[in-house]
Amino acid sequence: MPETKSDTKSGTQPDTGTASEPNGSARDWVRLDRHGPVAVLVLAAPEQLNGIHAPMMRQLHARLAEVAGDDAIRALVLTGEGRGFCAGAHVGEMAGFSDKGPAVGRLLDEGWNRAVRQIRALRMPVIAAVNGIAAGGGVGLALACDIVLAARSASFIQVFGPRLGVVPDVGSTWFLPQALGRARALHLMLTGDPLKAETAVDWGLIAGCVEDGELMDEALALAGRLARGPVAAFAEIREAVAHGLASTLDAALDLERDVNARLAGGPDFAEGTAAFVEKREPRFGCA
């Protein structure tokens, strides 16, 4: 398979899921595993703490598109291989850009921001299983997911300002203040201090923290539970919450009315109400 290279002078990235090692051999930088109706996306570059370079980002885009196009997938888990969840962008790659300003802008717009939007557009629940360090853009990638579970050894680090002299990106300036408030978000962004997983739970940034060896079992169990649920409604709940954060109570009431009027005409509501009346567990997604 021929090697696919990024243009490090311009920062452009061809839209392809193929990627190669420097010696030309093919490599899966992002692995897609299946567990019945649950898909698991694994960032698979442990030697660089899953820092994402152009070939890896192209694969991430392709894998997310594959998940989006498969109706048999009803929940997704995103995790990393090795000691890190994702160390953000591959700084060595960025250092090679000759026109760093425009190239970094394109890297964000065509790479990281596209991935975040792909995750948020998935019509299924998405769980981040943060197995280790999440730094820089890796924090935004995790927080783009609907539910974040972390290993006890995991930490979240805002390296942008204190280490690189840039503004936090990949959604961090939106995700962190929404979850933590201005004071805590600014403290993390200005100091770059690591936020331990247990503290992240206490502060409301993530949903749960478990022992390292239990993380994937917990994430898969939760994903399986959600996959058995009304996933169409789950997707609408995500959108309603995002809308509500930037809206008024009256607007939220109207949105809830309109969405529920639509969902109530669908098969999941019919099954849910029938199961309630018949005093049994609902069987969603079982046509």
Domain boundaries, the chain: 30-227, 231-277
Across the chain, which has 287 residues, the per-10-residue mean pLDDT values are 32 43 69 98 97 95 98 98 93 67 80 96 98 97 98 96 87 96 97 97 98 98 97 94 91 93 92 93 80
Positive or negative, the CA dihedral 101, 105, 111, 115 is positive
Question: Could you tell me which CATH class the domain 30-227 is placed in?
Answer: alpha beta
Burial bucket for residue 280 (CB in 10 Å: 0-12, 13-18, 19+):
exposed
Can you give the pLDDT at residue 165? 87
Can you give the pLDDT at residue 162? 83
User: What b-and-e string marks burial along 242-272, b requiring 16 or more CB atoms within 10 Å of the CB?
Assistant: eeeeeeeeeeeeebeeebeeeeeeeebbebb
Contact indicator for 112, 139 with CB cutoff of 8 Å = no
Question: How many angstroms separate the CA atoms of 122 and 210, rounded?
Answer: 26
Question: How many angstroms separate the CA atoms of 11 and 21, rounded?
Answer: 19
Can you give the pLDDT at residue 3? 31
User: Residues 164-179: pLDDT tens digits?
Assistant: 888 999 999 999 999 9
User: Residues 68-110: pLDDT tens digits?
Assistant: 999 999 999 999 999 999 999 876 676 666 576 777 778 788 8
Can you give the pLDDT at residue 23? 43
- DSSP lists the bridge partners of residue 266 as none
Contact indicator for 55, 41 with CB cutoff of 8 Å = no
Cα–Cα–Cα angle for 84, 238, 109, nearest 5°? Answer: 55
Percent of the chain clearing pLDDT 70 (strictly above): 88
Burial bucket for residue 208 (CB in 10 Å: 0-12, 13-18, 19+):
middle
* Distance set, CA 1 to CA 18, 21, 24, 26 (Å): 9, 11, 7, 7
Whether the pTM exceeds 0.95: the reply is no
Burial bucket for residue 157 (CB in 10 Å: 0-12, 13-18, 19+):
buried
Question: How many angstroms separate the CA atoms of 263 and 236, rounded?
Answer: 9
Closest C-alpha to 106, from 54, 39, 47: 54
